[in-house]
Amino acid sequence: MRDEVRQRVFSTLLMNALLRWESVVTLMVTMILFLFVNDISVLGVEWQPWFWLVLGGLVEGALVASTISDPNEAQEAMAREFESQYDLSHIRQESSREQLRKALEYRRDMLKLAKRHQGAMKTNLRQTVDDINDWIAHMYDLATHIDAFSNNEIVRRDQKDVPIKIQRTIDRIQHESDPLVKQELERQLKQLEQQRVNLEATRNSVKRAEIQLESTLASLGTVYAQMSLLGTKEVDSARAQRLRLEIQDEVASLQDTLDAMDEVQMQHLRLQ
């Protein structure tokens, strides 16, 4: 995923470099010189019209190289490209959508904090923001999982119908005299009980995911506060490293929650 983002960022930077006003001026001046300034000599060498094209190409190449190699330009392009991956309008749960919006705001402010520093500290903070990218990506996945569970009409229907079916089956068992029919009803009851357990697990997984999303946003706010307190001393480089480790632990926790929700979903599908 990161490689794909970097490729798109490179394409964006290249396009920006070609469309910047300096490039347009370079192209216009080069064409004017190529068409109208021919009868000159430089250091005894007869100037050829195509020399202007070469000179213009070298200037344009320098402009493109300066844009692509500018770390600030690259960081801003990366930020725009990153956020374009997450369309918050696709998140139906309002609370999840709001938490993601705040998470992206924290990330933008973290980028601003990183720009204030120089050298190793700036590099560390940028790496920290890269780790935050994974964090937010997992938050977005978690929000989509919550949507999928909360808006699943089949799950909603079963949560309403299964308890009724269980009670009806129990009543039938109590009044059934045929052993074979009763045995079949008892087997059906076990399946319904297992389905109820699974539905309860589904409901609880959504609750845990919602709590996890809230806790993750709070942790993100804590990381932002810690980043804002970092100075430029070498000792703060160690603090920045610890921040990265905390972020990686949070990402692992988010992944565990996603895996647990996927497992609950698979159990529900197997029962169906």
Give the residues across from 41 on adjacent strands. 46
| Cα 123 to Cα 132: distance, rounded to the nearest angstrom | 14
**Is pLDDT above 50 for 125?**
yes
**Is pLDDT above 60 for 2?**
no
| Cα 141 to Cα 255: distance, rounded to the nearest angstrom | 9
The pLDDT value given to residue 222: 83
Average per-residue pLDDT for the chain = 78
| Cα 168 to Cα 162: distance, rounded to the nearest angstrom | 10
Torsions phi, psi of 37, nearest 5? -115, 95
Report residue 142 as tokens. Answer: 């978690």
pTM score: 0.61
CB 59 within 8 A of CB 18: no
CB 254 within 8 A of CB 216: yes
**Is pLDDT above 60 for 233?**
no
Residue type, 20: R
pLDDT in tens, 201-222: 888 888 888 888 888 888 888 8
Report residue 50 as tokens. Answer: 């195509």
Q: Which residues does 189 contact at the CB level (< 8 Å), separation at least 6?
A: 166, 169, 170, 173
Give the residues across from 46 on adjacent strands. 41
Q: What is the DSSP string of 144-180?
A: HHHHHHHT-HHHHHHHHHHHHHHHHHHHHHHH---HH
Report residue 242 as tokens. Answer: 């610890």
Q: Which residues does 268 contact at the CB level (< 8 Å), separation at least 6?
A: 155, 198, 199, 202
More confident residue, 242 or 189: 189
In angstroms, how far is CA 95 from the centroid of its own chain? 17
More confident residue, 105 or 84: 105
More confident residue, 2 or 239: 239
Question: What is the maximal distance between C-alpha atoms in the chain?
Answer: 117
The pLDDT value given to residue 236: 55
**Is pLDDT above 90 for 164?**
yes
**Is pLDDT above 50 for 39?**
yes
The torsion angle over the Cα atoms of residues 252, 137, 238 and 225, rounded to 10 degrees, is -110
Where in the chain are the domains?
1-85, 92-272
3-class secondary-structure state, position 41: strand
Helices (H), 48-88: 49-69, 71-84
| Cα 61 to Cα 27: distance, rounded to the nearest angstrom | 12
Lowest mean pLDDT among 42-56, 68-82, 189-203, 242-256: 68-82
